[in-house]
Amino acid sequence: AQEKKEVKSKAGEKASLPCCHEIPSSESLHKYRVYWQKNVTDVVLAYSEGKVISQHERYQNRTEMDPRNLTLWISPLEILDNGSYQCVVQRNSVLVCSESVVLSVTADFSKPNITAEVSADSCELTEMVITCSSHGGFPKARLSGALNNVSMEWNASWVSESSFSPYNVTGKRVLNVTKDVTVTCSVEYSGFATSTSLLLKKTNNCVVPPAPPPYNVITASIIIVITFILAITLAARYLPRHVCSRCCKHQDSVEEGVKEHTKAPMFSKVTAETSSV
């Protein structure tokens, strides 16, 4: 049974694809035919009697083979190099082995860039449109997020020229910020991940002014104040006269009483003198 192997590497790096046979030290490559094929049909590199007899134009100057363990090296890697490769070894036209290996090429996404745009603002909350973007990566990435370490989803979209071209990913989210919060955006692809965090601050921390009193309350308050002022004014004008009038009447009564009391003894004296006569 054929053993299926997988090799993972990044674009721009060097990949080593193992073959199923190693030539003994007592022998040389001259006795063998070695074919490295991609997707069964395309010959990447072929050797016969120790010499290169075929090479795909897309792999020229990017491939070489170890003459002993028949490992195929590809450098620098391109995204288009993704696929299944097969090593076929023959000795004297007899099949020695055939083995497939899957090459998975990844391209790093850029560190996510987070931007925030205020769409509405009030004393209670700040509405923001948050955008997270990353580009130049492969394969198609998963975009995830968190708000103060609590998971959240992005409305994500991907753009790529073809199935084997780098991807650009953009995620959007509308947030109602009532206090300062931290938003995190992560891009995950083929076991790799990169993330960025941004502190979002509530932009408007105004204090709500107290509501003005109703119109009828204001009117009633004005009437009460005016009435109070008039009452004080009238009291200041008429109260002293009233007190004075009462004082004068009391004084006249006292004087009349004194006069009557003074006249009574004189009348008694005259009466006595008359009776003695």
CA distances from 4 to 1, 66, 139, 272 (A): 9, 20, 21, 165
Q: Are 97 and 89 in contact (CB under 8 A)?
A: yes
Plot region of 149 (φ>0 → left; ψ -120 to 50 → alpha; else → beta) = left
Distance in angstroms (rounded) separating the CA atoms of residues 108 and 121? 37
* Per-residue pLDDT, 252: 55
pLDDT value of position 215: 60
Question: With 0-12 CB in 10 A as exposed, 13-18 as middle and 19+ as buried, what is 195?
Answer: middle
CATH homologous superfamily of 110-200 equals Immunoglobulins (2.60.40.10)
Q: What is the pLDDT of residue 223?
A: 82
Contacts of 189 (CB under 8 A, 6+ apart): 106, 109, 137, 138, 139, 140, 141, 142
Peptide bond before residue 67 is cis, with ω within 30 degrees of 0 = no
> What topology is assigned to 5-106 in CATH?
Immunoglobulin-like (2.60.40)
Closest CA to 14 of 74, 103, 80, 63: 74
| CA pair distance 94, 50, nearest whole angstrom | 17
Q: What is the pLDDT along the chain (277 residues), one digit of tens a residue?
A: 455 789 999 999 999 999 999 999 999 999 999 999 998 889 999 999 999 999 999 999 999 999 999 999 999 999 999 999 999 999 988 999 999 999 999 999 999 999 999 998 888 888 999 999 999 999 999 999 999 999 999 999 999 998 889 999 999 999 998 899 999 999 999 888 999 999 998 877 666 555 565 666 677 778 887 887 877 877 777 666 555 555 555 555 545 554 555 454 444 443 334 343 3
Hey, is 170 helix, strand or coil? strand
Contact 113, 196 (CB under 8 A): yes
Residue 227's pLDDT is 82
Q: How far apart are CA 38 and CA 81, in angstroms?
A: 9
pLDDT of residue 68: 95
Single-letter residue type at 119: S
Q: Looking at residue 17, what is its pLDDT? A: 97
Domain with CATH 2.60.40.10 in the chain: 5-106, 110-200
